[in-house]
Structure 1
Amino acid sequence: MSDKSAISQAEGVMQRMLARDAFSKLLGLQVDEMGEGYCRLHFQVREDMLNGFGILHGGVTYSAADSAFAFACNSHGCLSVALSTNMDYLEAGKLGDTLTIEAKEESLKNKVGVYQIRIMNQENVLVALFKGTSYRTSKNI
């Protein structure tokens, strides 16, 4: 598959997923770039995303990273699901921050893919790291 058709396929899969993904829409996720095994998106931290201490709720950060992971691992057109994920929180997100989430495929074998996701704020400060391992089913998207 050519690079151009792979990007087109990845974008098509993302659009199909996003059309049915009410939670990603609720978070206000905006996809900036898609490719095979790759997704970059961003969102702005709103007041309704803050926890009781006035900082970004960890579940919001996790959910945004999980969405980027899902878009990246499904970008090949094969239905993929998470086998395992983990998240390290390094800095607190704050009201008004614009967070950019970048998911990159590190390894893809027959059935298992490994993805590294970085969450950065508008000052290029690393806010969190997310690692996801996916299982590729035999179903096409």
Structure 2
Amino acid sequence: MSQPPAPDKQRAEAVKEHMLRHDAFTRLLGLEIEEVDAGYCRLRFTVRPDMLNGFGNLHGGVTYAAADSAFGFACNSHGRFSVGLSVTMDYLEAGRLGDVLTVEAREESLKHKVSVYQLRVTNQHGTVLALFKGTAYRTSTDILSIPTQPLSL
């Protein structure tokens, strides 16, 4: 018999659904959120022709946008509206047409006002294409108690 989801996972799932209601950009990129939990997100997408740069490689902006989305789902998963303070991205390999990329965000530190995440972007062969580090500011606003619309700090 399977166990019911833990309260933290239930909250993370509820936050994900709340965020996705009006997230046109996630749909535009074709990002599929495979798993969320407290401080965690894993998503996947396939590299399409419209995602390539002039050299036939995955555009760095697409890689960054996918990582930023995973970062957003992970840092908001605790239910407090959070925004990015700073991020860095290291590009290690180029993505190619048809690659199936996985972006995995893991929480490294969670404090009252600041949280830190490490992300890896890998292809279907397990090759690491990029590394991303994000630091988020955590507001006191409960995500699930507000309508899905742009928020201001």
For Structure 1 versus Structure 2, the TM-score category normalised by the shorter chain is over 0.9
Displacement of 1:89: 0.2
Q: 1:1-141 residue pairs with structure 2 within 5 A?
A: 4-141=6-143
* Runs of 4+ with deviation above 2 angstroms: none
**Residue-by-residue CA offset, 1:26-62 (whole Å, 9 max, x unaligned):** 0000011110000000000000000000100000000
**Residue-by-residue CA offset, 1:81-129 (whole Å, 9 max, x unaligned):** 0000110000000000000000000000110000000000000000000
Question: What root-mean-square deviation, in Å, do the aligned CA atoms of Structure 1 and Structure 2 show?
Answer: 1.1
Displacement of 1:3: 6.3
Q: Which runs of 5+ in 2 are unaligned?
A: 144-153
Q: Secondary structure at the match of 1:53?
A: coil
Q: Which runs of 5+ in 1 are unaligned?
A: none
Displacement of 1:140: 0.6
Identity %: 64
AA of the residue aligned to 1:118: R
CA–CA distance in structure 2, aligned partners of residues 47 and 3 of structure 1: 38
AA of the residue aligned to 1:98: V
Alignment correspondent of 2:149: none
